[in-house]
Amino acid sequence: MARLLLERGDNVRILVRRLGAAKGLDDAESFMGDLRDPDSLVKAVKGCGVVYHVAADYRLWSLHPEVLYDTNYIGTKNLLAAAENEGVERFVYTSTVGCINKDENTPVRFEEMQGAYKCSKYLAEQSAMEAAKRGVPVVIVNPTTPVGERDIKPTPTGKIIVDYLKRAMPAYLDTGLNFVDVHDAAKGHLQACEKGRIGERYVLGSENLSLKDLFQKLEKISGLKAPTTQIPYALAYAVGLATTALASVTGKEPRAPIDAVRMARHKKYVTHGKAQQELGYQPSPVDSALERSVKWFRENGYC
């Protein structure tokens, strides 16, 4: 998103927690701050016409889950308050597809959320909707599973691909997700800013793929044979319980977080028809994004 904004000539300010974090974005202004520090956000938003709130603590396990709530939920409330005080023209909030069912109009309850990440993002999205009702010009986007280059940490999404490339995926679950090219997700944010209706949500996705389908695509791209064994859900659940319990003692991230296993119980297939109709959102197939992702992970020593 930052690159797209810079390419079209926008003045871009990026909130970072340490100087030098925004590598490759020399034309952008870096501003030190933290979502958990309201005063820093007031200063960061000063003079901005548009705020894109893309930041989140995206982890499916944490030894201290309250940190995810502080960043994702309270941090969103802090930034909304700063933007409201500044009187910004538009506030685009990056939610998650985990906060919806099949589309934007299908109701979902807090009790359906699994784990600290989804719970904190659900509460944050509710805060964004409440702000819109108060008159803050908020538009919400719900990206699905973005894939592509520069997934530095990597995120749980990128970790699926890294584990595949490291031959750490000997089997698969009967589950599925909607995948989207990270470039298309970025364009969708800009389209939501320009054309989105205040208080509305827009799914930014592309292809519904089973995990088996994804691995078959990765096999063609990487030349590494895809696993052919399907794990029963009960076995995956038992492994998730055991590894998560061990992680609470060691403090090391579990191989299979129990919340991730629970999420995999049902396929997360969605449609982006609303974004297509109202925003002009036209995502491409994810094959190119997967190719770029594999190439980037390999070239940067992840596998």
pLDDT in tens, 129-179: 999 999 999 999 999 999 999 999 999 899 999 999 999 988 899 999 999
Count CA atoms within 13 Å of residue 230 on its CB side.
9
Q: What is the DSSP letter of 72?
A: I
pLDDT(107) > 80: no
Closest by alpha carbon to 302, among 244, 228, 214, 222?
222
Averaged confidence pLDDT in the chain: 94
- Check residue 83 and give its pLDDT: 98
Confidence of residue 21 (pLDDT cuts 50, 70, 90): confident
What pLDDT score was predicted for residue 255?
Answer: 83
Strand pairing of 201-204 and 171-172? unpaired
**Contact call for residues 69 and 77 (beta carbons, < 8 A):** no
Residues in Cβ contact with 220 at an 8 Å cutoff, skipping those fewer than 6 apart? none
Confidence at residue 114, expressed as pLDDT on a 0 to 100 scale:
87
At 22, is the pLDDT very low, low, confident or very high (cuts 50, 70, 90)? confident
Q: Which CATH number fits domain 33-299: 3.40.50.720, 3.40.50.10490, 3.30.70.20, 3.40.50.970?
A: 3.40.50.720
